[in-house]
Amino acid sequence: MKVLVTAPFGNQGRQLLPKLAAAGIDVRAVEVNPAFEKNLYDLGAKEVFIGDFRRDEIMEKCLDGVDKLYLVLPNGLDNVIGSVQRMIRVAEENNIEHFVFSSCLNVVRELEQHWEKYMMESDLMGSNLNYTILKPAGYIDVHFPDLDGGIFDAGNYSPMIAGSAVSSFITCNNITDVAVKVLLEGEPHYFASYDLCAPGYYKEADSTALLKKVLAEAGKELKIVPPPEMNMDMLPSHLRDILGRIMVYHTHHPYRGNPFVYTALMGKTATTLEEYFRECVEKRKSFLRQSV
């Protein structure tokens, strides 16, 4: 089986590629940045195509000869609706067996990137393709990244979203586990849309208090620090609009999902926020023990 993966060096791609390779799947990756080519082969890709998949000639080349497609959209891309519409047509022409789209939980009209994904879901559902739509909640790994000098190393935490609205989360590890299952099993997942969430709903104050507790048990102090300055003028206007709306919307509106689907699919609950925090703390401890 040969599977095309887009955004292969992104949050999902870096975890998905080695899992697919370990499952015996031939992975074809399409990446716009040539600097990541070697990394992608190291992660398990059999083929790496360099180029923007939104361009017709790249899209047609990438989809030629693959059995299945896992579509993840890099953050902040413009002109994605038309590109995905063309991708669906090319996939139909190439008799792609299974089109798996990583969308997002609870698409809402107020957020541009959500609305774009809603439109793409609609196009996919109206196609002649066998499709599956994954709808993950907020990525725990992105909201609480495990970085040198960051939360689980030095205790430095920069909240991404303020306010009292509650959120659901899930790890990229859990998302990609579902992706591998869906791609391997195929037909039982045709025409399904899966909400993917871990148990629990968290306000910013709740997640911060939990983080403070877990770090304190490990002998670390939580320090709230301002996020690094971002020169918005250097970003494409489409991405500036998306980031601004995300900050405003999620500060005041809940982003909740139900954990039932993940548990039913995988036979276990997804990694909770507290479990993720403890895993990251333990990784740091293990690294220090090995370094001594």
Note the pLDDT of residue 286.
73
CATH 3.40.50.2300 holds for 2-137+171-196 = no
d(CA 70, CA 64): 14
**What's the chain's average pLDDT?**
90
Statement: residue 243 has pLDDT above 90 = no
Domain ranges for the chain? 2-137+171-196
d(CA 16, CA 88): 22
Note the pLDDT of residue 160.
75
Confidence of residue 211 (pLDDT cuts 50, 70, 90): very high
Amino acid at site 107? V
Residue partners of 64: CB distance under 8 A and separation at least 6: 94
Q: Tell me: the pLDDT tens digits for 30-67?
A: 999 999 999 999 999 999 999 999 999 999 999 999 99
Global pTM exceeds 0.75: yes
